Structure 1
Amino acid sequence: MSEGLKRDYQLCEEIGRGRFGTVFRCFSPESGEFFACKSIDKRLLLDSIDRECLDKEAKIMQLVSGNPNVIQIIDVYEDDSYLHMVMDLCDSSDLYDRVSKRIFSETEAAAVMSPLMEAIEHCHRHGVAHRDIKPDNILFDGRNRLKLSDFGSADCFSDGRSMRGIVGTPYYVAPEVISGRDYNEKVDVWSAGVILYIMLAGIPPFYGESAADIFEAVLRANLRFPTRIFHSVSPAAKDLLRRMLCKDVSRRFSVEQVLRHPWITSGAEGRRDQ
């Protein structure tokens, strides 16, 4: 363990595990607060690409810190074997856990979408596209405040530079990513639109038996609202979904347009009873 980390924090129990490292709960005697410490074993980084991604994640997290709905990186410590990132502790259930249990009312969905889109807007304003917006990466802290996390797939698009590379998760990835073309930050709007659809319907808008089948459905982008499922969903919610899940990127809403949409600004108050 890094001497600096040992000096400033007390490491507690393991609360998560990933491909390259482990997440621990940790305590700061100075502030009296608990945080999460992501400890990455650099010896597991098998090539320069892995190392580059890790360095980029830490830099991007520091770049987008400062928004209450983005996971904050508090401290970074590094020694020969490990990189330790101390971050906000989110010990409530994540959005994946919540959507897997029930369908959301429109008011509940709007209460998630509004801070999520504000977090994405903050990232875009700093020239960062998250590129892996999905329920697993939407966490909640002890006060139930939403925190966008996991910037391992994030990339910069500032100065008009577009992005390339197939990253993301099958159900949530935008069609232009799968097609192998250059793309822009609106891939995050598409992914957030998929999340909104799932919250209201309990199923993804584009699905299949395998990753290949899901990719085919995403590329077709045939957005439907089955009456059996959407009979009580308001026209305003469906309108927003059409504008976020629009295959034509030039017509797809930007994050700012999503935040100005009446369904968001009214907190879904114009919904039908559910």
Structure 2
Amino acid sequence: MPDSMTMSRNGMVSKIQTRIRTDAFKNNYDLVGKELGRGKFAVVKKCVEKSTGKEHAAKFLRKRRKGQDCRVDIINEIAILESAAGNPFVVSLHEAYETASEIILVLECAAGGEIFNQCVADNDEAFTEKDVIRLAKQILTGVAGLHRNNVVHLDLKPQNVLLTRAHPLGDIRIVDFGLSRRMDSMEEVREILGTPEYVAPEVLNYEPISTATDMWSIGVLIYVMLTGVSPFLGDEKQETFLNISQVNVDYSQDVFEGVSSLAVDFIKSLLVKNPRKRATAEECLKHPWLNGHSNPLPHLHNALRSSLDEPENSPSESEPELESPAPSPELVIVTSYTTCSGQSEMKSVRGAFAFDEPFAARSEIKQELIC
């Protein structure tokens, strides 16, 4: 990233190199098809550049949210995308426009949609372990590039990893840098940021975040890709947080049926409570699972559909009333913006997905944590 950039105390970048255009977006692009995704403060639409005929994804971001001026958050997102311009597995920024109420990011369009769709697919459409190995290498290569630039994503999950195509399986693009932070020149960054099912214990405990915070989320992500199960998801958020704080993970053969022991070992190297003991992205890329596995395995988690209809009993049901793992600032829900997302609504049960939104701490906003 250019030396001229400046950062605020919480790791947000406030200077960008991209020229934000103020001429009319519609003069240069035609919107086509249906919406690709929608959040509380943003909508993503496919567009075609008139001069080239090339397809892009236009992300329309509102500058004011809940009465607050959030332009600085969008500038930070642009800056992070600029810093990742040479990263082959991060969505690329083409250009940006600004109106009185919105900033429009014109992004690469990954037409294959979210890997979330394959994580919850029927047996013949679900990922094989061989698929997961290939995609995991790409995710880790992309994240390693971010971490070399001291950027932490802070919201890695299946909804924020897209595919260039679904059939045949394409390559991945990491998207949605709305919560990302730059860590260099910072003594410590402490913020409550992320999506409940994927957030690391140090975030819940309001301890310093680091590149290791992303590595926990990757451990959860790979668990999900291999099994179709969300490892820490509880019936309520407080149960989810307690599961994370206690690293309450099921590595049983029932969950990992047909999955290699090397894959389980890989996940165990990441779902470690002490961030200093977690494997780094570079270390993960050297793991035997990603370099020595040669036997394609059958499609995984073929019983996921039935599990959605019959919720499992949480192992924490017999425990006393759940409390937060540790005192922390009030949490406030904010929305997740993906680039090319297929929205799905699924039953929120232990062992299946909740299509959840990330949260962020805002000291000036008084609101309880709600979905």
State whether TM-score is above 0.5. Answer: yes
Name the TM-score, length of structure 1 as normaliser.
0.91
Letter in 1 for 2:106: V
Q: Matched residues in 2 for 1:161 and 1:118: separation?
A: 26
SS in 2 for 1:263: helix
**TM-score, normalization by structure 2:** 0.68
Report if the CA contact (8 A) 2:91-2:174 is conserved: yes
Alignment of structure 1 residues 19-168 onto 2, 5 Å: 19-44=40-65, 46-48=67-69, 50-102=70-122, 104-142=127-165, 144-159=170-185, 161-168=187-194
Residue 167 of structure 1 deviates from its aligned partner by 1.1
- Bigger relative contact order, structure 1 or 2, given CA contacts below 8 A and separation 6+? 2
Which residue of the partner structure matches residue 212 of structure 2?
A: 186
The one-letter code matched in structure 1 to 2:157 is K
Q: Determine helix, strand or coil for the equivalent of 1:212.
A: helix
Residue identity matched to 2:133: A
Identity %: 29
Runs (5+) with no aligned partner, structure 1:
none
- 1:213-267 Cα distance to aligned partner (Å, 9 max, x none): 000000000333112232432221111111011112121101110111111123x
Match 1:269 to one of 278, 287, 294: 294
Match of 2:37 in 1: 16
Segments of structure 2 that go 5 or more residues without pairing to the other structure are 1-20, 300-371
Q: Report the alpha carbon displacement of residue 140 of structure 1 after superposing the two structures with TM.
A: 1.2
Cα separation, 1, equivalents of 2:204 and 2:140:
23
Q: 1:145: Cα distance to partner? A: 1.9
More helix by share: 1
RMSD in angstroms over aligned alpha carbons?
Answer: 2.1
- Counterpart code for 2:128: S
1:228 aligns with 2:249: no
Deviation at 1:68, TM superposition (A): 1.7
How far off is 1:17 after superposition? 1.7
1:43 CA displacement = 4.4
Among 285, 288, 291, the residue aligned to 1:259: 285
Give SS of 2:206's match: coil
Query: What is the one-letter code of the residue matched to 1:116?
Result: I
Amino acid at match of 1:154: S
Q: Is 1:263–1:269's contact at 8 Å kept on the other side of the alignment? A: no
Please identify, of 119-128 and 140-149, the stretch whose mean Cα deviation from structure 2 is larger: 140-149
Q: Deviations over 1:165-213 (max 9, x none)?
A: 1111111111111111112111111111111111222212222111110
For the Cα contact (< 8 Å) 2:58–2:106, is it kept in 1?
yes
Deviates more, 1:253-262 or 1:200-209: 200-209
Deviation beyond 4 Å, 4+ runs, structure 1:
270-274
Query: How many residues were matched structurally?
Result: 272
